[in-house]
A and B are shown apart, each in its own frame.
Chain A
Amino acid sequence: MGQVKTQVKGRVMGLNGNEAVAWAVKQCNVDLVAAYPITPQTIIVEKFSEFVANGEVHTEFVPVESEHSAMSACVGAAATGARAFTATAANGLALMWEILYIAASLRLPIVMAVTNRALSAPINIHCDHSDTMGARDSGWIQLYVEDPQEAYDTTIQAFKIAEHPDVLLPVMVNLDGFFLSHTLQDVHILPDEVVKEFVGTRKPIEVYVPYLGKKVPLKLDPEYPLTFGPLDLYDYYFEHKMHQIEAMKNAKRVIKEVNEEYAKISGRKYGNGLVVPYGLEDAEVAIVVLGSTGGTVRYVAKKLRKEGYKVGVLRIRAFRPFPVEDVVELLRRVKVVGVMDRSVSFGARGGPVFLEVRSAFYDEKEKPIIVNYIYGLGGRDAPPSLIESIYKELLRIAETGKVEQLIKYVGVRE
Chain B
Amino acid sequence: MSELKGWRELPIGAIPFKLSTEFKTGDWRTFKPVIKQDKCVKCLLCWIYCPDMSIVWDGEKVTVNYDYCKGCGICAHECPVKAIEMVKEG
Contact = CB atoms under 8 A, between A and B. Distances in A.
Contacts of A168: 12-13
B18 A106 contact: no
B10 interface: yes
Contacts of A209: 11, 15, 17
Nearest to B9: A239
Residues of B contacting A: mostly: loop
B11 to A, nearest CB: 4
B81 interface: no
B39 interface: no
B5 interface: yes
Contacts, number: 59
Given A227-B20, A230-B20, A242 B7 contact: yes
Interface residues of A, number: 25
A107 interface: yes
Given A209-B17, A227-B20, A235 B12 contact: no
A19 B60 CA distance: 64
A236 interface: yes
Contacts of B11: 207-209, 218
A211 B17 contact: yes
Given A210-B18, A211-B18, A211-B19, A228 B7 contact: no
Interface residues of B, number: 15
A226 interface: yes
A207 B14 contact: no
B12 A207 contact: yes
B13 A236 contact: no
Contacts of A247: 12
Contacts of A205: 12
Contact of B15 (A228, A235, A239): A228
Contacts of A308: none
A229 interface: yes
Given A107-B12, A218-B13, A243 B7 contact: yes
A116 interface: no
B90 interface: no
A229 B11 CA distance: 12
Given A227-B20, A230-B20, A236 B15 contact: no
Interface in A220-240: 226-230, 232, 235-236, 238-240
Contacts of B5: 236, 239
Nearest to A105: B14
Contacts of A236: 4-5, 10
A239 B10 CA distance: 8
A102 to B, nearest CB: 9
Given A227-B20, A230-B20, A207 B6 contact: no
Contacts of A105: 14
Nearest to A212: B19
B59 interface: no
18 contacts: A105-B14, A106-B13, A107-B12, A205-B12, A207-B11, A207-B12, A209-B17, A211-B19, A218-B12, A228-B15, A229-B15, A230-B16, A236-B5, A239-B5, A239-B6, A240-B10, A243-B7, A247-B12
Interface of B: 4-7, 10-20
Q: Which 7 A-B pairs have the closest CB atoms?
A: A239-B7, A242-B7, A207-B11, A107-B13, A229-B14, A243-B12, A226-B15
